[in-house]
């Protein structure tokens, strides 16, 4: 009973789950959490809990992520809501799923692992509870869609990165290889990256220039949303 204007007898629990991808300059990883409640206590699951009464969906997702992993100020994007009838054997639960892609560095790596959370290489993920594998699969599809439209901001954005790193990230997301000349041509033609004079020498003797995102995105690459041509419309 929830004593509601709209429904006196709705018995549905609302939960939030977070799919957190981490890029470590080499491969994509997935952040999992050792579940603390029954059923499936002790199994690996996405980062999730029930929705708080007094937090918006976005706020609650951030809060849960912080509580379970210590990660803070991460941009989380809503993916979709899962609500099959028996997706959770214990009771009727619908889950609103968020996802993000962040950069994993050493520091972050240890901090997180103190908290019963653990990074797994994406192609070495253990069996997940409930429909969590679907959530991960759907997130990857969405990740690919998003990477099309913006040169992958996410939480990589604040940091500087090299073009070979960015290319590796794209290759991980799409699970393929790109020609480096074409990749650079394309990504630079977007006019959103800014070269710095700094070099990252951690992966080669020659070193690779670091890039950041441009501040003023106010440029000619802004599209007037009232004009479309057939090229904009059909993109296969």
Q: Using CB under 7 A, list all residues that contact DNA.
A: 162-164, 179-182, 184-186, 189, 201, 203-209, 229-232, 234
Contacts with a copy of itself in 67-126 (CB under 8 A)? Answer: 78, 80-85, 90-94, 96
Residue 208 interacting entry, from DNA, a copy of itself, none, C-beta within 5 to 8 Å by type: DNA
* Cα maximum dimension of the chain: 69
CA distances from 99 to 79, 95, 110, 147 (A): 7, 13, 21, 14
In this structure, the strands spanning 93-103 and 13-23 are: parallel
Among the listed residues 199, 144, 206, 201, the one whose alpha carbon sits nearest the alpha carbon of residue 169? 144
DSSP H or E segment with residue 44: strand 44-45
Q: Which is nearer to DNA, 59 or 179 (CB)?
A: 179
- Asked if 31 and 121 count as a contact pair (C-beta separation under 8 A), the reply is no
How many C-beta atoms surround the C-beta of residue 118 within 10 A? Answer: 17
Least spacing, CB of residue 122 vs DNA, in Å = 22
Among the listed residues 151, 58, 152, the one whose alpha carbon sits nearest the alpha carbon of residue 102? 152
DSSP H or E segment with residue 169: helix 163-174
Contacts with a copy of itself in 133-192 (CB under 8 A)? Answer: 144, 147-149, 170, 174-176, 178-179, 182-183, 186-187, 190
Least spacing, CB of residue 109 vs a copy of itself, in Å = 28
Residue 41 interacting entry, from DNA, a copy of itself, none, C-beta within 5 to 8 Å by type: none
* Phi, psi angle pair for 186, to nearest 5°: -65, -50
The interface region with a copy of itself, picked from 10-18, 66-74, 105-113, 201-209 by CB under 8 A, is: 10-18
Residue 164 interacting entry, from DNA, a copy of itself, none, C-beta within 5 to 8 Å by type: DNA
> Per rule CB under 8 A, is residue 233 in the interface with a copy of itself?
yes
Which residues of this protein are in contact with a copy of itself, per CB under 8 A? 1-7, 9-15, 37-38, 50-51, 53-58, 78, 80-85, 90-94, 96, 144, 147-149, 170, 174-176, 178-179, 182-183, 186-187, 190, 223, 226-230, 232-236
């Amino acid at each position: 009973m929830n004593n509601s204007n709209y429904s006196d007898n709705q018995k549905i629990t609302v939960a939030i789950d977070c799919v957190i991808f981490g890029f470590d300059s080499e491969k994509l990883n997935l952040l999992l959490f050792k579940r603390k409640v029954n059923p499936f206590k002790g199994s690996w699951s996405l980062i999730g809990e029930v929705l708080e009464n007094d937090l918006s969906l976005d706020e609650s997702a951030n809060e849960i992520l912080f509580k379970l992993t210590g990660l803070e100020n991460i941009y989380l994007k809503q993916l979709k809501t899962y609500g099959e009838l028996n997706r959770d054997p214990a009771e009727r639960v619908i889950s609103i799923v968020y996802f993000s892609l962040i950069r994993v560095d050493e520091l972050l790596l240890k901090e997180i692992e103190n908290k019963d959370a653990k990074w797994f290489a994406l192609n070495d993920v253990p069996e997940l509870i409930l429909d969590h594998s679907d959530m991960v699969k759907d997130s990857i599809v969405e990740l690919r869609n998003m990477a099309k439209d913006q040169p992958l901001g996410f939480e990589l954005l604040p940091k500087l990165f090299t073009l070979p790193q960015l290319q590796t990230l794209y290759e991980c997301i799409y699970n393929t290889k790109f020609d480096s000349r074409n990749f650079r041509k394309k990504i630079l033609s977007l006019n959103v990256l800014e070269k710095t004079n700094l070099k990252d020498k951690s992966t080669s003797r020659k070193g690779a220039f670091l890039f950041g995102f441009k501040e003023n995105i106010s440029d000619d690459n802004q599209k007037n949303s009232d004009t479309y041509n057939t090229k904009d419309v059909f993109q296969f």
